[in-house]
Amino acid sequence: MKKICIILLAAAVLAGCSRRHDTGLAPADFVDRVEPPCWWTGMETPLQLMIHGDRVAEYDVSVSGPRGVRVAAVHNAQSIDYLFVDIKISPNAKPGNYDLVFSRGDEVFSLPYNIGQRRKGSADRESFGPSDAIYLVMPDRFANGDASNDDVPGMNESSDPDAFFGRHGGDIQGIEDHLDYIADMGFTALWCTPLLEDNETVESYHGYACTDYYRIDPRFGDNEKYREMVGMAHSKGIKVIMDVVTNHSGVHHWWYSDPPFSDWIHFWPEYTHSNCSFSVHQDPYCSDADRQNMLGGWFDVAMADMNLDNPCLLQYFKQWAVWWIEWADLDGLRVDTYPYNEKIPMSQWCAAVRKEYPSINIVGECWTTNTAQAAYWQDGANNADGFDSNLPSIMDFSLHDAICRGINTDKEDWENGLSAVYQSVACDGFISDPLNMMIFPGNHDTEHIADVCRRDPERVKLVMALMATLRGYPQIFTGDEIFSVSRDLSQGHGGLRVEFDDNWAEDPVKKDIHDYTRALLRWRKTSKAVHCGKTLHFLSRDNTYAYFRYTDSEAVFVYLNNNTEPRQIPWNDYSEISSTLGKDVRDVLSGNKVDPSSMTAAPKSAIILEFK
């Protein structure tokens, strides 16, 4: 079944798996796309095939095959080159090979379509969450494990390792080669920026302008290679999160020149950029013009803004997400530019994916440092307009901003220093589920944390201590754990996205930060207080930050000193909780038994203690 299910339709028909009468033309001359390319029995998600081909709307469509699969309805598009076909799969349908039969008068041809047996327990899969630590990889800039796919015929952009904004040649094999490293570090989940085909003519390396939603970019590998990587990651205790983009496709997507409906894409008389103002979703005074610009304006000239108010497009994206989870055995999703989508359809999208997989986690990129605006997007938010996104998790850009502002000062003031982190965490009252937020020192769209810290290794270690102990689940971008810096900050994204340094162990500073982060992440895997504990923190105005993470049976105490001189822990200030803790206190990094009431934190250092 696996081999049959991954065959792309055009390849299948050209291989002779079809029948044709009346003319000598092959079915591929009429139909070049059927998406999704296969499906399964026992699914909750309704199946609607999008069929594309030359004047395909002139044909009637039926299904023949083993048992229990039929055409329930056919929907014409505005373009005669599309059909949207609802397929009904009965509960007792037999898995196997079916035929989509196309007829026009006495002219008949058929295409194979596989309905596979769903893997046992698929719907009940677990996902990522507060107990995980995520490693973020941008595949093209990570590691080149297979030089043979650097340049692929038919793909517009070739590799050039020296180009700031070009492809460098990283691929899935390079990721597989580093899975042991990722697991050894203590990471339990892997998020790769998009691996799907991006055949734009420039800057295609980042993958965010998809040109084929069912094909891994051949410069990374292929669909089977991706599924192989997921399986290898699972064997090493690493979950895999797929980065998906519903807001926009690439302008070189095959449907761009002939969309099925005039409202499939937000077309404008001339290029119109989104105003990028998330407030339009909550602003009671917002003009229609501003709201329409936010939702319909384009993110970039190469990224056609999709209209999820079109029901066929929404269904396409629902089953696309489900297909990849089911086919590749994924553990969760990350959604790019989440608030740029139409919010009601995206709420329905999240609900559909979670109906198929009730325990699945989906994290949305809601890039705003305004906590109240970000909180609006998390499932269960107490929104004034009654809106519920059904989105379980959001990225904590407020905390990221606070860390970047707060870590780079030797003397605290009202806006900077570690009180900025305190104030960010203090806004958790807006958040419906603070434990299910992604926290991060940086990602593929920001500067490396070593650059933020002005290449001060001790302050980088302070940030890693925060990542390992604050509420939420940490995500670390490739290289931040080994003190990587941008190639050239003046080049923006192209300069910060650098290759993984396999020689890190030869540099004592890189090795020190690696070992420090590794020790914290491996310990974090064992700490229920960090995974699911409550938080109690204490305000100071001296560029320090103290907080407890605790459950009924254990506690963790964290004290960060961001000053250039030592600070004694003011243990008596924490008596409301410290008096309830046991006497078995151990330093997390050294394992030594300690007395917190007499401890002093060295300059620019963190003390992390565990109470059992």
Minimal CA–CA distance to 266: which of 245, 293, 242?
293
Q: Which of 198, 217, 305, 336 is catalytic?
A: 336
| CA–CA distance, 128 with 123 (Å, rounded to integer) | 15
Centre a 10 Å sphere on the Cβ of residue 566 and count the other Cβ atoms it contains: 12
| CA–CA distance, 26 with 30 (Å, rounded to integer) | 8
Q: What angle do CA 302, 304, 310 make, to 5 degrees?
A: 170
What b/e sequence results for 338-377 when a residue is b if at least 16 CB atoms lie within 10 Å of its CB, and e otherwise?
A: bbbbbbebbbbbbbbbbebbeebbbbbbbbbebbebbbbb
Query: 182 CB contacts (<8 Å, ≥6 apart)?
Result: 135, 190, 236, 238
| CA–CA distance, 190 with 200 (Å, rounded to integer) | 26
Q: Which of 365, 379, 428, 481 is catalytic?
A: 365
**Three-state secondary structure call for residue 279:** helix
β-pair partners for 108 = 103
Q: In 478-543, where do the E strands start and end? A: 534-538
Distances in whole angstroms, Cα of residue 202 to Cα of each of 160, 301, 330, 378: 12, 11, 29, 34
**Three-state secondary structure call for residue 395:** strand
DSSP 4-69: HHT--HHHHHHTT-SEE-SSS--GGGTEEEEESS-EETT-SSPEEEEEEETTGGGSEEEEESSSSE
Encoded tokens for 269: 């008389």
Q: What angle do CA 287, 291, 293 make, to 5 degrees?
A: 115
488 is catalytic: no
| CA–CA distance, 475 with 132 (Å, rounded to integer) | 9
DSSP conformation class of 397: H
β-pair partners for 20 = 109
Whether 305 and 268 have beta carbons less than 8 Å apart is answered as no
Q: What angle do CA 197, 199, 205 make, to 5 degrees?
A: 75
| CA–CA distance, 135 with 36 (Å, rounded to integer) | 29
Q: Tokens 């007792």 map to which residue? A: 92
Helix (H) or strand (E) holding 173: helix 172-176
| CA–CA distance, 440 with 603 (Å, rounded to integer) | 23
Minimal CA–CA distance to 337: which of 236, 456, 249?
249
Centre a 10 Å sphere on the Cβ of residue 184 and count the other Cβ atoms it contains: 13
336 is catalytic: yes
Query: 388 CB contacts (<8 Å, ≥6 apart)?
Result: 347, 379, 380, 381
- Which of the residues are catalytic? 336, 365
